[in-house]
Structure formats: C-alpha cells, structure tokens
Structure 1
C-alpha cells in the first residue's frame, strides 16, 4: 500500500501520521529514509543542488518516476549530470515546491519514488 503524505510545514513532513523533521526519500517499497544530502553537499557546498552521486543513491532499478519536493519555496535543483542520469534510466522527474509535490505524490500511482526537502 502506498504511503499517504498528510502535510508539510517548514522543517517537517508528516506521512501516515508520523512526522519527520529532516529531508526524506520514499523508496519504491514505501520505506522512508533520511535523505543522504551530504552526497550533494560534498560536491556543491549545498544540498540545494542534487549531485550525480545523490541521484544514483535515490534511483532504484524499475523506478518510473521520481517526485522531487524542492523545499517550501522551491530552492532545490537537479545538476545537469543528475538530470542526464535520470533521463538515461528513462525515469521521469517531476519537481515542485514541497507543498505541491506532496499533492502530486498523493495522486500518482505506479513505481514512484520521492525525495522531499523540508526547509527553504
């Protein structure tokens, strides 16, 4: 069964009644993990640009689409290398500010994963 995201506010996201106070990844199997943002921060000095290494960490074979919650006001971007990686895997990417991204997540079906930035 797919997780339902209840809400988000600056610094948190609530999924099926459980609140997380950090960025998260939702895997294909519904597992929620803390985002490994250090993979991007090491390369760019910020976690607001998703690196190729983080893209490889996020992606699982068979993923049809990844929803990216770009933060409360939309600061997160994909690096060109990350975008090329997802394109090469034939994995669609949809990027929205986190409040809109959770609405999109809740309406989609299929082999969908997600990453949500909960600040900025």
Structure 2
C-alpha cells in the first residue's frame, strides 16, 4: 500500500480516493474508521488495528493536528509491544510511505482538522 496524495479531507491510496478517515492495513484500507469521541482517540477506537498485531502503528492527528492522543492510549499501545508514532497527518503519511513494504505497519489517519 502506498499513499500517493494527501490533502485536507482527501487521501489517495494505491489509486483509490478516500474522503473519510482511514486505517491502512498491509492488505486493505478501512474507510469506515470513526472515533467514539471524535477528536479524542481512545483505546477502543484502535481495537481492530491492535488486534491485527502491528509492530508499528502510525497515527495521523489531522491536517492541523487537532485529534488528541491521550497518554493512557499511548501507554496501552506500548504495553502491547507496538511502536507508536504520532504526527500531523501529512508527516504521518510521509512516515508510512517510508515503511510501505513492511507488513508490520498500520496507519490510522484523521484526514481533516
């Protein structure tokens, strides 16, 4: 999977355009990702991604970085042995693309604010 383009509210992954938040798995894209508390990322919001067993999880907090990732969410992910990177979505996309051939990488990306 490769992210070919990202701008506010829009991402192109392997030639397909998405306009809602996504989780990019090694073999598929989940474009139905939403968070129970919107801009506050909880452990439950990442349960499918965690269950997929990634070595690395890249979290994109939005174009302006408005999505909050609380310490308890980070601690939970790290306790599962997951290396976590939290960045504004533009930077998260760049980081994801550096790992694109690594099967142990998942990206959860908030596309708007």
The answer to whether the Cα contact below 8 Å between 1:55 and 1:82 also exists between their aligned partners in 2 is no
Q: Which has the higher strand share?
A: 1
Q: Structure 1 stretches of 5 or more lacking a match?
A: 42-46
Correspondent of 1:9 among 1, 4, 7: 7
Deviation at 1:110, TM superposition (A): 4.4
State how far apart, in whole Å, the 2-side matches of 1:110 and 1:32 are. Answer: 14
Q: Give the secondary structure class of the aligned counterpart of 2:74.
A: helix
Correspondent of 2:28 among 27, 31, 35: 31
State how far apart, in whole Å, the 1-side matches of 2:68 and 2:48 are. Answer: 16
Query: What do the CA deviations read for 1:59-102 (whole angstroms, capped 9, x no partner)?
Result: 13531110111111111221233112101101011011111111
User: Aligned residue for 2:82?
Assistant: 91
The answer to whether the Cα contact below 8 Å between 1:55 and 1:85 also exists between their aligned partners in 2 is no
Note closer, same or farther for the CA distance 1:17–1:36 as it changes in structure 2 (3 Å cut).
closer
State how far apart, in whole Å, the 2-side matches of 1:112 and 1:61 are. Answer: 10
Runs of 4+ in structure 1 displaced over 3 angstroms? none
User: Aligned residue for 1:44?
Assistant: none
Q: Give the secondary structure class of the aligned counterpart of 2:66.
A: coil
The answer to whether the Cα contact below 8 Å between 1:68 and 1:96 also exists between their aligned partners in 2 is yes
- Count residues with an aligned counterpart: 111
TM-score under structure 1 normalisation?
0.83
